[in-house]
Homo-oligomer: A and B are copies of this chain.
Amino acid sequence: MARTGRRPGNTRSREQILRAAREQFSELGYDGVSIRGIARGAGVDPALVHHFFGAKDAVFVAAMRLPYNPGEVLRGIVADSGHDRAEAVVRFFLGVWEDPGTREPMLAFVRSAVTNERAAEAVRGFTQDVITRHVAAEVGISPLRASLVAAQLFGMVLVRYLAAAEPLASAPPEEVVATYAPAVRTVLGEARE
């Protein structure tokens, strides 16, 4: 299918797909949703959903208005082999939460996951999908190690940005990277080059 850009019909279809996706993710959880089901809900062809967004995790990212797709970011970090992956991943997470433009949608996402059982179910399924498909498979570590890296990153966000507990809340980002990256590297099972 050719990319047809910003024609009004496409904008409408895109919005219909995102609306159907939002409804279905929050009603059925992540695992209960399929591209086919979203297409049916939006009254479009499944190929159009794929054309606009790609795989299910990317539809989720767009529907939940997440500022980035963790799977894509990790692919980029893994592909760039010339640097320290542990440092890159800690620095990326800090960057997302340091910038108010990306922090606010992330905060809204986290709050909904904690206060709403169905949203929590969707986040759980999405996290599992990203951890087992992207991180474990593409980084080449066990799914358990991948989920413990996620635990380290989410924990840092929790203490620094959500709880805003000192001294982590005010520590300079590069000091956090220098102190925390070695622990992320330990879980990744990498030696420092």
Residues of A within 8 A of B (CB): 111, 113-115, 120, 123-124, 127-128, 131-132, 143-145, 147-148, 150-156, 158-160, 162-168, 171, 175-176, 179-180, 182-187
The main secondary structure of chain A at its interface with chain B is helix
Residues in B whose Cβ lies below 8 Å from that of A167: 131-132, 143-144, 147
Decide yes or no: A151 and B147 within 8 Å by CB, A124-B165, A131-B165, A166-B128 being known contacts: no
Contact B171 A124 (CB under 8 A): no
A-B complex: 7 closest residue pairs judged by Cβ atoms: A155-B155, A151-B155, A147-B168, A183-B186, A183-B183, A151-B159, A114-B114
Residues in B whose Cβ lies below 8 Å from that of A185: 186
Residues in B whose Cβ lies below 8 Å from that of A158: 151, 154-155, 158
How far does the alpha carbon of A44 sit from the alpha carbon of B167 in the complex, in Å?
35
Query: In angstroms, how far is the closest chain B Cβ from the Cβ of A166?
Result: 5
Decide yes or no: A159 and B180 within 8 Å by CB, A127-B165, A128-B166 being known contacts: no
